[in-house]
Amino acid sequence: MESCPLGLFGWGTVGGGVIDVLARDGALIASRCGLAVHIKAIVTRTPSRVRSQGAGTAVVGTDPRLILEDPAIRIVLLMVGGTIEARDLCLAAIASGKHVVTANKALLAVHGDELFAKAFARGVGIAFEAAVAGGIPVIAALRDGLVANRIEAIYAILNGTCNFILSTMEHEGLGYQEALAQAQRLGYAEADPTMDTDGSDTAHKLALLARIAFNARIPLNRVRIEGIQRIGFLDIRSAHTMGARIKLLAVARQRADGLELRVAPTLVPLDHPLADVHKNYNGIYMVGDAAGPTLLVGQGAGPLPTASAVLADVVDVASGRYQQTARRFTFFQGGSEPTYLGESEEHTGSYARFVVPDRAGILAGITQVLSEHGVSVLSIHQGEPAAGRAMIEIVTHPLRGGAFLSAIEHIDRTGLTMEPTVCLRRL
């Protein structure tokens, strides 16, 4: 049996999850692939916490050399958050000739070009299955299983916190703050959930998926990012009226004229499979030219699902498969620079909710402006007016984002509406 000692940087939920999975399934992994995986050393700022929680036979300390200078450790688990210390440790591990397995999506979305290039030059791999959608093996599916496909589009729910909040708002009729508080009580949301709710965590994950799918560099500033903080119960109800459900959707779509990249609250029609991804679950719907659509659904966070992905990478690296992949796949070495399409060039169906005075001519005024901007309406709904105000909701046929936004801006500017119009994209 080959011994596979690991060095773990950072002690948090993932490290604990890896220890738990090895305790329950280490023998199974050994019997499946002939590797005795164990954590040999842990480097953390809080060794006492590790010792009190129990880390088996691992040596625990604060000095990175405990791992970096141990020749028996060939694989480093980099489970440190943020991008500064994590980058330093990643570079140090690469310089020491060690492979890196990480769940840190921000690190790779921000510094991936540099880190992948350095790892490639040093002949080591950076494996990151755990960085995107936790327990769902989406990186392997996209990189290997769908390698023969031209990927046309990825539509994905990649943040369990946001999906839990939106599902809870819908199912329990709650407002945003109440649903967030419930997510925090149940441990689905961090005490500071900003990176989840503002869409940046989803954007980091989308950047990694798009990098593989389109063999391209994906600078984060080319991803349009909008969070869910302004979504209220009224939006959730409106979505239902229009036969849809709101999801924080990551979209990467290859068009003839460039690459559309965005993260935004989106109306997902109720008959689309992503509409049925509820609570803290993630879902990734990928469209390949040969395979057609493929949907993966599962748990995108949590100690055990994330540990499942980390250990899959460990086996891949320890068996030498990952290094072959890293040598062969060009996205590790840089990738192309496609044309990135901005918001005005996005091409989608859109939704608008107008709050208007309840009097003759308003609807005609709105449809007049829409038609002047080439906006074709797919469906329209007006609720019962109350206190002299009415709500008119429309869904459009797919059109250029620029045309839609300028029509809405024109409608609001000409005084047809009583409040700024709420707009959402539709899948």
Q: What is the binding site for ligand HSE (CB under 6 A)?
A: 159-161, 196, 201, 300-301
Which residue, 304 or 363, is less far from ligand HSE as judged by CB? 304
Which is the catalytic residue, given 40, 205, 247, 279? 205
Question: Min. distance of Cβ 161 from ligand HSE in angstroms?
Answer: 3
Question: Min. distance of Cβ 301 from ligand HSE in angstroms?
Answer: 4
Question: Min. distance of Cβ 229 from ligand HSE in angstroms?
Answer: 15
Question: Min. distance of Cβ 393 from ligand HSE in angstroms?
Answer: 30
Which residue, 29 or 268, is less far from ligand HSE as judged by CB? 268
Which residue, 64 or 305, is less far from ligand HSE as judged by CB? 305
Which residue, 160 or 303, is less far from ligand HSE as judged by CB? 160
Question: Min. distance of Cβ 157 from ligand HSE in angstroms?
Answer: 9
Which residue, 159 or 348, is less far from ligand HSE as judged by CB? 159
| 205 has catalytic annotation | yes
Which residue, 203 or 416, is less far from ligand HSE as judged by CB? 203
Q: Rounded to an integer, what distance in angstroms lies between the CA atom of residue 36 and that of residue 33?
A: 9
Question: Min. distance of Cβ 105 from ligand HSE in angstroms?
Answer: 6
Q: Rounded to an integer, what distance in angstroms lies between the CA atom of residue 354 and that of residue 215?
A: 41
Q: Rounded to an integer, what distance in angstroms lies between the CA atom of residue 99 and that of residue 325?
A: 13
Cα angle 199, 284, 318; round to 5: 100
Which residue numbers are catalytic?
A: 205
